[in-house]
Amino acid sequence: MTNTERARQLPMKKLVIGGCRSGKSRYAEQWVTENFSDKVFVATLEARNDAEMDQRIALHLQSRGIGWLTVEEPLDLVGVLEKNETGSEIFLVDCLTMWLTNMMMQGFNDEKIQGEVARLCETVSSLDTSVVLVANEVGLGIVPESPLGRRFRDLAGWTNQQMAVVCQQVVLVAAGLPLRLKG
C-alpha cells in the first residue's frame, strides 16, 4: 500500500510543530500535496496593514502553487472544518499559534480559550475529513519576560498538548527535517 493510499484510507489527523522558520509549513504543504488532490488551506493570519506581513502572505500563496482553495479564518476554525462547504479531502490549518494569538488579541480569557481548544479537539477527532494542523513549538526558548508572554507560551504549549492527544500523528520539524513523535 502506498503512502497516498494509506493517507486516503482513513481520515488522517496530523499535528506538525516546530520553531519559527523551521520548515514546518513547507513540510505540511508538501505532505498534503503528495497525498491529496482536493485540499483546503485554512489561514489564521489576519493582514493588519503591515507591508512586510503582506509580502510574507503573498510568498506563502505563491509557494503553495495551484490546486489549493484558501480560506481565511482568524477565529472560527471549528465552523470552517464542520461546514466543509467544498467537500474537500483535507484541511491544512496554518497555524494554531496565530489562532491563539488572535483569540488573545480579541480579549478571550484563558477559560474561553481553553473552551475553544476543547471544541477544536472534539471537532478534529470526530471529523470525517483529514486535517493537518501546524503550530509553533514555543517552549524551547527562554522564559518570557512579561506576564503576557508567559501566558502566551503556556497557552500555546497546552494547546499543542491537547491537539497531540487527538491526532494520530505528531511531527516535529527542525532545520527542515521532520522527526515523527507519534504515529
How many Å apart are CA 106 and CA 151, to the nearest integer? 15
Burial class (CB within 10 angstroms; exposed 0-12, middle 13-18, buried 19+) of 84: middle
Other C-beta atoms lying within 10 Å of the C-beta of residue 108: 17
Cis amide bond preceding 121, omega within 30: no
Burial class (CB within 10 angstroms; exposed 0-12, middle 13-18, buried 19+) of 5: exposed
The catalytic residue among 26, 60, 151, 153 is 60
**Residue 86 is among the residues annotated as catalytic for this protein:** no
Residues labelled as active-site residues:
60
